[in-house]
Amino acid sequence: MKRGLLIILSGPSGVGKGTIRKIFSEDERLNLAYSTSMTTRKPREGEQDGVDYFFTTREEFEKAIENGELLEYAEFVGNYYGTPLKEVNRLRDEGKNVLLEIEVQGATQVQQKCPDAISIFIVPPSMEELERRIRGRRTEPEEIVQQRLAKASNEMKMVYQYKYIVCNDDPQLAAELIETIILRHIELEENK
Amino acid sequence: MKRGLLIILSGPSGVGKGTIRKIFSEDERLNLAYSTSMTTRKPREGEQDGVDYFFTTREEFEKAIENGELLEYAEFVGNYYGTPLKEVNRLRDEGKNVLLEIEVQGATQVQQKCPDAISIFIVPPSMEELERRIRGRRTEPEEIVQQRLAKASNEMKMVYQYKYIVCNDDPQLAAELIETIILRHIELEENK
């Protein structure tokens, strides 16, 4: 069996990664799988270990970092979140194409560890449009909005690290472009 | 009948626009047409007026420029080359999607005159790869190669003026991405 692809889907926060992913993940030809993340945050009501997340302690998480067991990780509001390499490899060995929908910082880590990853960066039609989307999402203090915008602006500078750049002007088209990219890579892999 | 789309295909010279265009232009669903250019250069053996080019005099060409009859034009080695607006409009009015495969400078002119144009910029996988392609094309004095590279490097800066950016790492995939873009715009136009 052919080993599955590793696909990184990233882009500044607020750009619409989730919306696009929902559209193209319905395409069964892509044979996608999502790896379960590891976290130190407490399980919420109804969340199952090994399904929603691998729940772990801070100590264990830090040991996993030291042992190079995480493809990428980040800390948010005092909790660690990361992608276990073992999980990704297991799915790829089963022939699944693993999609990581991750933040820009995490994507950089994955690219360094897996140069064969197919990296896709979603960009907004313009920074003005991204601002409109960030402001439209919820009512937040101006200071927070400004922080988000500054972060997005910095994240945009990472665009050249990616193999493919897809503009999210029209989510349907963005999803179709990503489908085209993945299907072509599946084809190339099969003909190897 | 729906008016056809205007599609600009551009990118630095040497990037492989022609190769990609040959692949996707075989897709009949795209319903593409190519407008005949106007030139002041003399017809070569076997070239027909109105088919290969509209052959004209320098005086007439300059009058056409003054009257705003050209969507874009440029001068190469002492001869003018341009795209007559009338030709493009005639084809679009017939419902054809007009594709202009043009140099970066001409593309900027078209974008200014037709903000509704779907602009696609082909980028090389890297500047190193573009250099390899430019050098591989033919044997030229180092000075000319350096000029081409400097021009390409400048042209790359125009990337943000384009709606879509497609990397030509794999011409087949680049062609498929362009097909996806055009088909989606045809669909959007039909649903208007």
Chain A contact present for B189, CB below 8 A: no
Strand order from edge to edge, sheet including A97-101: A32-33, A97-101, A6-10, A118-123, A164-167
Residue B7: phi and psi, rounded to 5, are: -120, 125
For A77-130, write each residue's pLDDT tens digit: 889 999 999 999 999 999 999 999 998 989 999 999 999 999 999 999 888 888
Is the pLDDT reported for residue A1 higher than 80? no
pLDDT score at A157: 84
Does A127 lie at the interface with B, CB-CB under 8 angstroms?
A: no
The confidence score (pLDDT) of residue B46 equals 92
- Between B167, B176, B188, which is nearest A184 by CB? B176
Q: What is the pLDDT of residue B69?
A: 95
Q: Min CA distance, A87 vs chain B (Å)?
A: 29
Interface touch B176/A172, C-beta < 8 Å: no
Rg of chain B over Cα atoms, rounded to whole angstroms, equals 17
CA distance to A3, A141, A160, B101, B132, per residue, from B97 (Å): 41, 47, 31, 13, 33
Helix (H) or strand (E) holding A184: helix A171-190
Is A184's CB within 8 Å of B163's CB? Answer: no
pLDDT of residue B126: 83
Residue A96 sits at φ, ψ, to 5 deg, of -80, 145
The ipTM estimated for the assembled molecules is: 0.71
Parts of chain B with a pLDDT under 50: none
Distance CA B179, CA B121 (A): 14
Query: So what's the pLDDT on residue B144?
Result: 84
Q: Give chain A's mean pLDDT.
A: 91
A142 Rama sector, left if φ>0, alpha if ψ -120 to 50, beta otherwise? alpha
Phi-psi region of B95 (alpha: psi -120 to 50; beta: other; left: phi over 0): left
Average pLDDT over residues A36-51: 92
**How far, in Å, CA of A58 to CA of A40, rounded?**
6
What is residue B133's predicted lDDT score, i.e. its pLDDT?
Answer: 84
Top pLDDT among B126 and A170 is at: A170
Least confident of A52-66, A157-171, A173-187: A157-171
DSSP state of B106: H
Asked if B186 has any chain A CB less than 8 Å from its own CB, the reply is: no
Q: What does the pLDDT read at residue B2?
A: 86
CB B23 within 8 Å of CB B6: no
| pLDDT computed for residue A136 by the predictor | 79
Q: Residue A76: its pLDDT value, please?
A: 83
What local confidence, expressed as pLDDT, does residue A172 receive? 96
CA-based nearest distance A42→chain B, Å: 42
A167 and B163 within 8 Å at the Cβ level: the answer is yes
Asked if residue A14 belongs to a known ligand binding site, the reply is yes
Please name each of the domains of chain B with its CATH number.
6-190 (3.40.50.300)
Mean pLDDT of A64-79: 92
- Chosen for mutation from B176, B178, B179, B192 (greatest number of chain A CBs closer than 10 Å) is B176
Residue B106 corresponds to which tokens in the numbers above? 């001409």
Q: Exposure pattern of A156-176 as b/e (b: 16+ CB <10 Å)?
A: bebeeebbbbbbbeebebbbb
**Cβ–Cβ under 8 Å, residues B13 and B152:** yes
> In this structure, what is the dihedral angle of CA atoms A134, A156, A24, A87, given to the nearest 10 degrees?
-110
Any CB–CB contact under 8 A between B137 and chain A? no
